[in-house]
């Protein structure tokens, strides 16, 4: 059974710092992996989607990498800003394109001015 873990559960950094959020999964036979952002009281907003054949995806200050063999993905945030404060979740889709997404519990990021 696929399990997705995000460590740490919470992270606090000063503004301007570059940071890395971690996501690990137990079954390397994934179809794709998706990173989301969730603001308090809001829904999940998709940040990046990485297909199993890809090693990384970039969007603005965000870069997500994928290493299937080691069961890990990282989300790199450059030059963090207070507006980046939110909970970041990763989710793994296994079992082919029809597989369900398995979510981690998220990392709550706080960027201090």
Binding site for other proteins (CB under 8 A): 31-32, 34, 36, 41-46, 49, 89, 91, 93, 96-98, 100-101, 103-106
Phi, psi (rounded to 5 degrees) for 33: -140, 140
The nearest distance, CB 98 to other proteins, in angstroms, is 7
CA–CA separation, 5 and 28 (whole Å): 13
- Which one, 5 or 85, has the nearer CB to other proteins? 5
Q: Provide the minimum distance between the beta carbon of 99 and other proteins in the complex, in angstroms, as a whole number.
A: 8
For CA atoms 10, 42, 22, 71, give the dihedral sign: positive
Nearer to other proteins by Cβ, of 60 and 96: the residue is 96
Q: Which residue has the tokens 């200050």?
A: 61
């Amino acid at each position: 059974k696929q399990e997705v873990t995000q460590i740490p559960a919470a992270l606090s950094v000063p503004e301007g710092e570059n940071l890395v959020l971690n996501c690990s999964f137990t079954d390397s036979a994934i179809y794709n992996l998706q990173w989301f952002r969730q603001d308090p009281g809001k829904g999940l907003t998709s940040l990046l989607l990485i297909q199993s054949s890809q090693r990384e995806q970039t969007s603005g200050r965000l870069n997500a990498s994928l290493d299937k063999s080691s069961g890990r993905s990282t989300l790199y945030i450059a030059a963090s800003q207070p507006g980046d404060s939110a909970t970041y979740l990763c989710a793994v889709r296994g079992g082919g394109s029809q597989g369900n997404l398995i979510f981690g519990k998220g990392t709550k990021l706080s960027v201090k001015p």
